Structure 1
């Protein structure tokens, strides 16, 4: 019994330590995401030259758009992770159809929200939004070390 109790206690201590490390990593990841989100808000506000009134009306619409776009992206990612080798021909056809439908939904979402953005922003600002989003993504990737072609960081000792 003593042996069982001692091993159980050791296991609990190891598990508690592991959970604590995972919780800390999760908190750090969330903090990093919050910093990126705040930087994106500042970047887009500056690039689009949003007035205070425009910003108050734009950000709720934009946040709704990005949430819906993120959901579609997650669904696409799930489809891409499907092992085609384990599917029969009909399942593959269904998978291809689902992928096409999700891509069409993404285009429809962009059309819908570009119309909504133009109710808040000028046509020029709406056009600049797409460019500014790409610029921001490029800058973030470069800061994270993955901004080179191919998405991998530069080898040590080389210039970007």
Structure 2
């Protein structure tokens, strides 16, 4: 019963976002519902889990934005075919730094969650995230085949 109430609560909070921010927010809400279901968090666990997880997601989203900017700049430099070896080295260093930040953020998430939820639920989270991403990729592939 607690699980159903928590799921309804999460969906209710994000339902206002659906109309405002489009598909990216819908996916985010579906991810939240999916993780909530898979982790079967108690009310106390959920209160501690979601602020930590949401902070992590914000960090990861900022890293994605940085990486997209880097990839766009790399494409523009590659299109010009005038990229110097020094500039190429800078891109590589920025890319590696971005990957390192992402890895560090994931490590910090897990260490922070260890203070709030059991290790078994952290393992379930890792699996749930992987499964959710796989489902989204499968949906995208299926959608592309229809068009």
Give the gaps of 5 or more residues in structure 1: 1-26
Deviation at 1:131, TM superposition (A): 1.4
Flag the structure with larger Rg: 1
Alignment partner of 1:40 is 2:36:
no
Which shifted more, 82-91 or 99-108? 82-91
Structure number having the greater helix percentage: 2
CA contact (8 A) 1:48 1:128 kept: yes
* CA 1:147–1:134: 2 relative to 1, 3 Å: farther
- 2:92 is aligned, of 90, 96, 107, to 96
Shift of 1:79: 1.3
CA RMSD of aligned residues (A): 2.1
Q: TM-score under structure 1 normalisation?
A: 0.69
Give CA-to-partner distance per residue, 1:21-63, whole Å, 9 cap, x none: xxxxxx8571433332222222101101111111111111101
Deviation at 1:69, TM superposition (A): 0.6
Match of 2:145 in 1: 154
Name the CA shift for 1:88/1:74 in 2 (closer, same or farther; >3 Å). Answer: same
Matches within 5 A, 1:1-160: 30-81=21-72, 82=74, 83-84=77-78, 85-143=81-139, 146-147=140-141, 153-155=144-146
Shift of 1:105: 1.0
Alignment partners' CA distance in 1, 2:111 and 2:24: 28
Stretches of 4+ aligned residues off by more than 4 angstroms: none
CA distance in 1, matches of 2:121, 2:129: 12
Q: How many residues are treated as equivalent by the alignment?
A: 125
Higher RCO (C-alpha under 8 Å, 6+ residues apart)? 2
Bigger shift: residues 32-41 or 130-139 = 32-41
Decide whether the 8 Å contact of 1:138 with 1:147 is kept in 2: no
TM-superposed deviation, 1:138: 2.5
